[in-house]
Amino acid sequence: YREAMATGRVTSAEAYFAPLGTWFDVRTYPWAGGVMVHFRDIGARKAAEAERERLLADAEAARREAEAAWVAHTESERQFRTLADAIPTLAWTARPDGHIDWYNARWYEYTGTTPGQMEGWGWQSVHDPAELPWVLDRWRAGIASGEPVEMTFPLRGADGRFRPFLTRIVPLRDADGWVMRWFGTNTDVSSERAAREAAEAANRAKSEFLAVMSHELRTPLNAIGGYAELMEMGIRGPVTDAQREDLGRIQRSQRHLLGLVNEVLNYAKLETGTVRYDVADVVVSESLAAAEGLVAPQARARGLALAAGECPADVTVRADPEKLRQVLVNLLSNAVKFTEPGGRIAVACAADGARVRIAVRDTGVGIAADQFGRIFEPFVQVRAGLTRPHEGAGLGLAISRDLARGMAGDLTVESEIGVGSTFTVTLPAAP
């Protein structure tokens, strides 16, 4: 006011009036020895200006944050590509739609291609045309689902040769779960495949050798057994008591060797996958009775009690009758072999939903818990707690478990040193 009165000129200013909570544009006009003051409410304009300043500040902050993020992203991308170029595996990245936009140096070294040739979907040129359709289907399915992809297929190298590669592709997602990029690797597995094939070939050769040798050995062993029986019958003249005793030793040794050869032959068949399973509905109690009948003489000879436990007559399994009998005879023979005179062997069965459990229990020497895995390995005999060696090739349990698994079942063990063992065969229940 004083300035307007002193100078005689119009003055203006913006002032905030706290009682009304708003801004005013105040203009002062000289008038008849005094002044006239005009107040205009500019609160809305001031609020708009303040909002504009806030928005500008927010925008600047966002710009700086985005710039910092881009710098960090660029540095991270640079570091990632440096690391990816250093690894021996082929690596690449793709956009969310599967368009590949970067390969590491190893890719170009192996394929002998250029970035221009590989851009986008150009990678198809280094694939085996016969394999490409299903590879494309798997890749497109992964893109559509957003899930990781794993597959093995051949890639052509710069030398024109195709080699198998294990390919793994994983999605890289943002904070909201959206796929932002794909990262893929291709690992050369030709050495591993060659080693596996060589091992399989060696294993087949070993099994074939065992099978041939077993057949070759059985022929003279059967002849020995036959001639010993003929001599015992007196075909070559009267047999003295001493000669009869010698012939008995020959026959026992022949049967023992023939049993070992048969075990080896059975195991060779299992390893080569030439065992046939004729699966049918089998009444468990009948199979147990048949197996017990075969083993009972051995049990009596060693002074063992062979007891039939609970096994309802209606319990039936899906199995090959002969293979099941072989498994049960093996388990009962093992129990006889490793149970001291005066001991007890019991068998039982029980249905448990869709499965049936057949248990063979003995009061033998028992097996240490850390040996449970080894007893099912071929040519292994665990002798914990034993004071004498036992006959056999150590194949009975290995064969039995393989046969059980071949019938969609299994063979397990529970045991305690000095208490005894329980071997349980689990098989599918018949419907």
Residue 30 lies in a domain: yes
Tokens for 52, please give them: 């504009």
Q: Is 287 contained in some domain?
A: yes
- Tell me the mean pLDDT in the region 92-108: 90
Full-model pTM: 0.49
- End position of a domain, from candidates 255, 272, 289: 272
Find the CATH number of the domain harbouring 107: 3.30.450.20
The first and second tokens of residue 5, run together, are 């009165």
pLDDT given at position 380: 63
Distance CA 166, CA 2 (A): 90
Phi, psi of 315 (to 5 degrees): -80, 120
User: 183 and 288 share a domain?
Assistant: no
pLDDT reported for residue 152: 94
CA 362, distance to chain mean position in Å, is 35
User: How do strand 305-308 and strand 344-352 relate by DSSP bridges?
Assistant: parallel
pLDDT of residue 56: 80
**Would you tell me the crossing angle of helices 321-337 and 284-301 to the nearest 10 degrees?**
30
Which of 138, 143, 161 minimizes the C-alpha distance to 100? 143
What pLDDT does residue 128 have?
94
Percent of the chain exceeding pLDDT 70 equals 88
pLDDT of 102-158, one tens digit each?
899 889 999 999 988 988 888 999 999 999 999 999 999 999 999 999 999 999 999
Which tokens is 251 given? 């026959």
CA distance 319 to 324: 7
> Which two tokens mark 400?
């039995």
Q: Residues 162, 202: one domain?
A: no
**Do 226 and 329 sit in the same domain of this protein?**
no
Domain holding 362, by residue range, is 280-428
Confidence of residue 382 (pLDDT cuts 50, 70, 90): low
**Residues 312 and 351 reside in one and the same domain:** yes
Residue 55 lies in a domain: no
Note whether 295 and 380 are same-domain residues: yes
Number of domains in the chain: 4
**Cβ–Cβ < 8 Å for 142, 190:** no
Residue 386 confidence class, pLDDT cut points 50, 70, 90: very low
pLDDT, tens digit, 9 for 90 and up, residues 244-271:
888 888 887 877 677 777 777 777 777 7
Residues 222 and 243 in one domain: yes
* Together in a domain, 114 and 213: no
pLDDT per residue as tens digits for the range 335-375? 998 899 999 999 999 998 899 999 999 998 888 888 887 88
* More confident position, 322 or 194: 322
Confidence of residue 391 (pLDDT cuts 50, 70, 90): low
| Domain match, 309 and 410 both | yes
Inter-residue contact 309 to 348 (CB < 8 Å): yes
Position 96 scores a pLDDT of 93
The pLDDT of residue 249:
84
Instruction: Please give the pLDDT value at position 67.
Output: 64
Q: Which of 218, 250, 272 is the last residue of a domain?
A: 272
7 vs 348: which has the higher pLDDT: 348
Q: Is residue 344 part of a domain?
A: yes
% of the chain with per-residue pLDDT over 90: 33
Residue 49 lies in a domain: no
Confidence of residue 230 (pLDDT cuts 50, 70, 90): confident
Residue 348 located in a structural domain: yes
Residue with tokens 């090959």: 320
- Tokens of residue 197, six digits: 């094939």
**Contact (CB, 8 A) for 34 and 5:** yes
Q: Which of 156, 158, 152 is nearest to 185 (CA)?
A: 152
For residue 412, give the 3-state DSSP assignment. strand
Is residue 142 within 8 A of residue 169, CB to CB? The reply is yes
Q: Given 159, 188, 217, which residue is the final one in a domain?
A: 188
What local confidence, expressed as pLDDT, does residue 45 receive?
87
CA–centroid distance for 70 within its chain:
41
| 284 and 313 fall within a common domain | yes
At 385 the pLDDT is 44
Q: What are phi and psi of 408, to 5 degrees?
A: 65, 30
Which pLDDT does position 77 carry in this prediction? 66
- Show the tokens assigned to 314: 């209606």
Where would I find the beta strands (DSSP E) of 174-236? 179-188
Task: Examine the domain organization and report whether 144 and 241 are in the same domain.
Answer: no
Residue 297 banded pLDDT, cuts 50, 70, 90: confident
Contacts 24+ apart (CB under 8 A), 81-85: none
Domain assignment present for residue 75? The answer is: no
Q: Are residues 108 and 148 in the same domain?
A: yes
Residue 178 and residue 265 in one domain: no
Contact 427, 420 (CB under 8 A): no
Do the bridges between strand 22-31 and strand 11-17 make them parallel or antiparallel, or are there none, so unpaired?
A: antiparallel
pLDDT band at 35 (very low <50, low <70, confident <90, very high): confident
Q: What is the pLDDT of residues 148-193, one digit of tens each?
A: 999 999 999 999 999 999 999 999 898 889 999 899 999 999 888 8
Count of CB atoms situated within 10 Å of the CB of 112: 13
What average pLDDT is seen over the chain? 84
Q: Assess if residue 79 is contained within a domain.
A: no
